[in-house]
Amino acid sequence: MGNRKPHHPPIPGIIRRPENEYPGYIYGSLGLAGFGCRDFYLATIPRAQAVEIILAHHYSRRIVNNSYIHLGVFLEGELMGVLQFGYALNPAAASKVVANTGNTEYLELNRMWLDDRAPRNSESRAISYALKFIKRACPSVRWVQSYADERCGRWGVVYQAANFLFLGSHWTPFYELDGETYHKLLLTAHKKGGQRGEHLRQNLHRATKRRLRQFRYIFFLKPAYKRDLRMRPRPYPKPPADNL
| Average pLDDT, consecutive stretches of 10 residues, N- to C-terminus, the chain (244 residues) | 77 95 96 97 97 89 87 97 90 86 93 94 96 96 91 82 93 71 63 65 75 90 95 89 52
Q: Of the candidates 161, 180, 137, 175, which has an alpha carbon nearest to the alpha carbon of residue 12?
A: 137
Rg from Cα positions in the chain: 18
The pTM (predicted TM-score) of the whole model is: 0.86
Q: What is the CATH number of domain 24-88+95-175+215-243?
A: 3.40.630.30
Cβ pair 99, 227 in contact under 8 A: no
φ and ψ at residue 240, rounded to 5 degrees: -50, -40
Cβ pair 73, 82 in contact under 8 A: yes
Check residue 143 and give its pLDDT. 97
Where do the domains of the chain lie? 24-88+95-175+215-243
